[in-house]
């Protein structure tokens, strides 16, 4: 098979301001044609591993490094970043930080142009890559007008243009609808079959397994917990930390493993719909015949919808179908070309963006769009200060926002520069910024991106217990998260709402579901098998515990001696 494309030996790395190493004694190599899946809870060292592979460590991230990293046989410490980039292509978690071209063609040409590729070859390569990446319909568009998922595909295409030997892809599925994600995984599989090496970091293991990885590297607290085949990984992986197929979670529970069972949708707001809210109040948010788009391209085609002041609404659908655009019109970040948006019964146009932010805490898909202050503390104090809140309350506001988003356990987090946080931590900081304004409604765009399974679940549960928070509206491609926590689903396709109802109602039509590029997950199948008059959609852990409990009852009925012995 030849020498490894990347070979890491006894690597330990501690960031300059950190008290503990991010990676400890890590040894791993990746051969040509091999796919390595890297999994583990947030903070386990996955991002640090990527930076070591692409040379950002040690060239851009100072710290204490021992051990060696070899790319194509050469030590990264002895190569320039430019030389390493000829062998390693990286797709970041946040594509907004990777795209520099004003148009799709300019972005695709950026890398080869800097390497002196002839224009004729560049044009031919753009055509080939656009086809391979499935982005032909994006050609000719401005990158600023692309959805988050479309940017993710463009970032991948930009790396394809460079033809590296190793593709390192960091959480590619978070911003993609399941069908588009499957196409991306197919592209990575073809690259491996052609002899390229692929390293994919992903929390959503169930979907990543469709890639048929050769090996899995499972990290915990910077150390290798497991390195081997998929079967061995599924036997030891923590189902709280990574999203595993439901059958695996159920098997682990049957064998006595403890999991954190949270139940199904936990909002007391369930059943409250639009204008049916208590007291006959108007809906929190109403769209009347809303049409909107970018650069002369209409994205929303006459949307009519009412979102209640006391409900949890998840918006699902394909990339580019208008989900994010819907909420951007509500925040007046863009104006409808036709129709009207009403907030609490009054036109949104009567309020400024700043005034709307006191009603809607909007968390962008790309957290870097919200971060600009020198420290985390300053980020969290900015909104309350501008709203002239009592300065004496700032410490309490900061502490509460950090605690609710799980950032309070980070060392010296209040004084850290926001952009030094990981992507997942920045995502949680963006939410903390919204919470600092104490809005009655949150709008979340891909809230689980960058979060491990445990953090995402706790994140949603914590939100729904915040005093004063009445409603949550979220855009997500994590269908299991949406079905387990939302009281209502809006299903989008091609800029129109094609379904609006409870999770159970919306998933009944499987053909409609899949036509919206959505995956029928193992958890959906298992919930469908349990469905009864009182059954609500449960997350994997809660459903596994429920099934195991029923099996225990059945066993006790079949063999009364069992229950007597247990008693």
Q: Do 208 and 326 reside in the same domain of the chain?
A: no
Task: Kindly state whether residue 256 falls inside one of the protein's structural domains.
Answer: no
Residue 42 has pLDDT above 90, yes or no: no
Listing DSSP states for 287-340 in one string gives: EEEEEEEETTEEEEEEEEEEE-TT-EEEEE--TTSSHHHHHHHHTTSS--SEEE
Q: Residues 111-117: what's their mean pLDDT? A: 90
Q: Residues 99-124: what's their mean pLDDT? A: 93
Chain mean pLDDT for the chain: 89
| Least confident piece of the model among 32-36, 141-145, 231-235, 560-564 | 560-564
Output helix, strand, coil percentages for the chain, rounded to the nearest 5. Answer: 40, 20, 35
The pLDDT of residue 269 is 46
Residue 270 has pLDDT above 60, yes or no: no
Q: Are 149 and 176 spatial neighbours (Cβ–Cβ below 8 Å)?
A: yes
The last residue of one of the domains, among 517, 541, 558, is 517
* Residue 191, Cβ density class (10 Å: 0-12 exposed, 13-18 middle, ≥19 buried): buried
Residue 532 has pLDDT above 60, yes or no: no
Q: Do 313 and 375 reside in the same domain of the chain?
A: yes
Q: Do 379 and 325 reside in the same domain of the chain?
A: yes
Higher per-residue confidence, 380 vs 458: 380
Task: Kindly state whether residue 535 falls inside one of the protein's structural domains.
Answer: no
For 463-480, the pLDDT digits (tens) are 878 888 999 999 998 999
The domain that contains 217 carries what CATH number? 3.40.50.300
**Sign of the alpha-carbon dihedral angle for 278, 280, 281, 286:** positive
Q: Do 279 and 230 reside in the same domain of the chain?
A: no
Residue 377 has pLDDT above 60, yes or no: yes
Nearest to 184 by CA among 200, 166, 196: 200
The last residue of one of the domains, among 241, 264, 288, is 241
The pLDDT of residue 164 is 96
Task: Kindly state whether residue 565 falls inside one of the protein's structural domains.
Answer: no
Task: Kindly state whether residue 552 falls inside one of the protein's structural domains.
Answer: no
Q: Do 216 and 283 reside in the same domain of the chain?
A: no
The last residue of one of the domains, among 241, 259, 290, is 241
- Tell me how far apart the alpha carbons of residues 233 and 252 are, in angstroms, rounded to a whole number: 13
Nearest to 135 by CA among 111, 160, 157: 157
Bond into 58 cis (ω within 30): yes
Q: Do 356 and 452 reside in the same domain of the chain?
A: yes
- Inter-axis angle of helices 423-435 and 376-386, to 10 degrees? 20
* Residue 240, Cβ density class (10 Å: 0-12 exposed, 13-18 middle, ≥19 buried): buried
Q: Residues 85-99: what's their mean pLDDT? A: 89
3-class DSSP state for residue 169? strand
Q: Are 176 and 208 spatial neighbours (Cβ–Cβ below 8 Å)?
A: no
Q: Do 218 and 353 reside in the same domain of the chain?
A: no
Q: Do 186 and 318 reside in the same domain of the chain?
A: no
Phi, psi dihedral angles at 276 (to 5 degrees): -95, 10
Label residue 387 by pLDDT band (50, 70, 90): confident
| Domain around 64 | 6-241
Q: Do 124 and 221 reside in the same domain of the chain?
A: yes
The pLDDT of residue 1 is 56
Q: Residues 155-177: what's their mean pLDDT? A: 92
The pLDDT of residue 265 is 44
Residue 40 has pLDDT above 60, yes or no: yes
For 294-344, the pLDDT digits (tens) are 878 999 999 999 999 999 999 999 998 999 999 999 999 999 999 999 999
Q: What's the number of domains the chain is made of?
A: 2
Label residue 399 by pLDDT band (50, 70, 90): very high
Residue 276 has pLDDT above 70, yes or no: no
For 52-63, the pLDDT digits (tens) are 999 999 999 989
- Tell me how far apart the alpha carbons of residues 41 and 452 are, in angstroms, rounded to a whole number: 5
Q: Do 231 and 281 reside in the same domain of the chain?
A: no
The pLDDT of residue 535 is 64
| Least confident piece of the model among 28-42, 52-66, 144-158 | 144-158
Task: Kindly state whether residue 141 falls inside one of the protein's structural domains.
Answer: yes
Task: Kindly state whether residue 10 falls inside one of the protein's structural domains.
Answer: yes
Rg (the chain; Cα; Å): 24
CA atoms within 13 A on the CB side of 170: 26
Q: Do 315 and 191 reside in the same domain of the chain?
A: no
The pLDDT of residue 560 is 61
The pLDDT of residue 275 is 47
Task: Kindly state whether residue 424 falls inside one of the protein's structural domains.
Answer: yes
The pLDDT of residue 95 is 84
Q: Do 300 and 158 reside in the same domain of the chain?
A: no
Percentage with pLDDT > 90 across the chain = 64
Q: Residues 443-462: what's their mean pLDDT? A: 84
Q: Residues 228-257: what's their mean pLDDT? A: 90
Task: Kindly state whether residue 529 falls inside one of the protein's structural domains.
Answer: no
For 181-193, the pLDDT digits (tens) are 888 999 999 999 9
Global pTM exceeds 0.75? yes
């Amino acid at each position: 098979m030849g020498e490894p494309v990347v070979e890491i030996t006894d690597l330990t790395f501690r960031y300059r301001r950190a008290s503990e190493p991010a990676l400890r004694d890590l040894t791993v190599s990746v051969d040509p044609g091999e796919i390595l899946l890297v999994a583990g809870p947030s903070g386990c060292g996955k991002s640090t591993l990527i930076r070591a592979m692409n040379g950002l460590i040690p060239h851009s991230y100072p710290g204490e490094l021992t051990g060696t990293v070899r790319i194509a046989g050469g030590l990264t410490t002895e190569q320039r970043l430019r030389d390493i980039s000829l062998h390693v292509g990286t797709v970041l978690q946040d594509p907004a930080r990777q795209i520099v071209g004003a148009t799709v063609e300019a972005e695709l040409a950026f890398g080869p142009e800097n390497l002196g590729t002839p224009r004729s070859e560049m044009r031919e390569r753009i055509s080939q890559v656009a086809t391979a990446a499935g982005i032909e319909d994006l050609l000719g568009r401005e990158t600023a007008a692309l959805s988050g998922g479309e940017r993710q595909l463009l970032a991948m295409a930009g790396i394809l243009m460079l033809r590296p030997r190793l593709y390192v892809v960091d959480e590619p599925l978070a911003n993609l609808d399941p069908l588009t994600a499957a196409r991306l995984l197919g592209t990575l599989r073809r690259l491996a079959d052609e002899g390229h090496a692929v390293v994919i970091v992903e929390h959503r293991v169930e979907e990543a397994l469709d890639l048929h990885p050769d090996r899995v590297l499972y990290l915990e607290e910077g150390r290798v917990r497991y390195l081997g085949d998929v079967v061995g990984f599924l036997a030891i992986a923590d189902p709280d930390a990574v999203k595993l197929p439901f059958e695996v979670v159920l098997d682990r529970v049957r064998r006595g493993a403890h999991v954190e069972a949270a139940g199904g949708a936990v909002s007391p707001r369930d059943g409250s719909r639009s204008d049916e809210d208590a007291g006959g109040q108007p809906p929190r948010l109403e769209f009347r015949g809303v049409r909107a788009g970018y650069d002369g391209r209409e994205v929303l085609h006459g949307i009519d919808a009412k979102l209640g002041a006391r409900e949890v609404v998840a918006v699902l659908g394909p990339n580019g179908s208008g989900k994010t655009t819907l909420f951007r019109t509500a925040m007046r970040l863009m104006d409808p070309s036709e129709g009207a948006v009403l907030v609490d019964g009054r036109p949104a146009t009567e309020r400024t963006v700043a005034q709307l932010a006191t009603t809607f805490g909007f968390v962008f898909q790309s957290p870097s769009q919200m971060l600009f202050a020198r420290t985390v503390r300053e980020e969290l104090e900015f909104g309350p200060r501008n709203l002239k809140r009592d300065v004496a309350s700032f410490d309490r506001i900061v502490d509460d926002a950090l605690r609710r988003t799980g950032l309070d356990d980070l060392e010296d987090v209040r004084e850290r520069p926001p952009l030094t946080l990981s992507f997942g931590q920045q995502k949680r900081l963006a939410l903390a910024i919204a919470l600092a304004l104490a809005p009655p409604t949150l709008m979340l765009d891909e809230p689980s991106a960058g979060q491990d399974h445990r953090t995402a679940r706790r994140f949603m549960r914590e939100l729904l217990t915040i005093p004063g928070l009445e409603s949550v509206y979220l855009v997500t491609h994590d269908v299991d998260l949406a079905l387990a926590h939302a009281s209502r689903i809006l299903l989008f396709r091609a800029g129109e709402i094609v379904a609006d109802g409870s999770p159970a109602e919306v998933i009944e039509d499987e053909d409609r579901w899949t036509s919206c590029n959505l995956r029928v997950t193992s958890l959906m199948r298992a919930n469908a098998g349990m469905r009864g008059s009182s059954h609500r959609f449960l997350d994997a852990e809660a459903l596994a515990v429920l099934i195991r409990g029923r099996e225990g009852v059945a066993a006790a009925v079949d063999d009364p001696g069992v229950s007597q012995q247990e008693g």
